[in-house]
């Protein structure tokens, strides 16, 4: 029970992952909290692992950053050894096995690992190594609010350019309703042109654009 309570306190964030017809979209807020204290207003929660592979983090910052560095290194070693990029499922399995090994002293994180190999893929990992493959998913303290919007607005068959606004809007709604989510929106896509991060101005224009039916 004590570990579960710690985990709840460390999930002050909202992240989103969406499968699109031509790739994936990931989004997150940029606020870091320590209980009721806003520790930082510009924290990166979406990371490029390789040009075809990314991950989002929710939870303890130190744990998450250590796992990001590990996967970045493993992805490069895999590419050197195999002569090809690490598949998204292989990266997810690597993390799942690691998290499961530490389940009695867990990393306080919830992760989304996503990218494009033979197809677009997004996986949700819990702190104990459980994995589910998702079409659309949200993690963190604002996830319930985000899901309320995603259930109605998300369409899998839409391309990246149409699902970008959906992901950004889900985070903006969570920012308005969840104290652990806030300050700015980080938005990323992974498609045929690789990993792309969108500027604040681009995100602003997406949110101001009329929603396509």
Q: At CB < 8 A and 24+ separation, what contacts does 145-150 make?
A: 145/14, 145/173, 145/174, 145/177, 145/178, 146/14, 146/16, 146/170, 146/171, 146/173, 146/174, 148/173, 149/173, 150/16, 150/18
Query: Measuring CA to CA, which residue among 170, 131, 140, 142 is closest to residue 25?
Result: 170
> With contact defined as beta carbons under 8 Å apart, do 114 and 123 qualify?
yes
Known catalytic residue at 13: yes
- Residue of 13, 14, 33, 181 marked catalytic: 13
Dist. CA 52–CA 31, nearest whole Å: 26
CA atoms within 13 A on the CB side of 184: 17
Residues forming the active site: 13
């Amino acid at each position: 029970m004590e570990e579960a309570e710690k985990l709840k306190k460390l999930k002050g964030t909202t992240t989103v992952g969406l499968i699109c017809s031509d790739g994936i979209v990931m989004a997150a807020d940029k606020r870091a909290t320590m209980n009721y204290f806003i520790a930082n207003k510009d924290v990166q929660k979406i990371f490029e692992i390789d040009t075809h592979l990314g991950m989002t983090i929710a939870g303890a910052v130190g744990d998450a950053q250590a796992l990001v560095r590990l996967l970045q290194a493993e992805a490069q070693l895999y590419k050197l050894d195999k002569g090809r990029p690490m598949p998204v499922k292989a990266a997810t399995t690597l993390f799942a096995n690691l998290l499961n090994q530490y389940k009695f002293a867990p990393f306080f994180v919830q992760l989304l690992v996503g990218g494009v190999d033979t197809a677009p893929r997004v996986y949700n990992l819990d702190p104990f190594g459980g994995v589910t493959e998702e079409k659309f998913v949200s993690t963190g303290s604002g996830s319930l609010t985000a899901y309320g919007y995603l259930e109605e607005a998300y369409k899998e068959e839409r391309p990246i350019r149409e699902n970008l606004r959906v992901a950004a809007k889900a985070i903006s709604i969570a920012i308005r309703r969840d104290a652990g989510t806030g300050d700015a929106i980080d938005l990323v896509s992974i498609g045929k042109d690789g990993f792309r991060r969108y500027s604040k101005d681009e995100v602003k224009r997406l949110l101001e654009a009329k929603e396509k039916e």
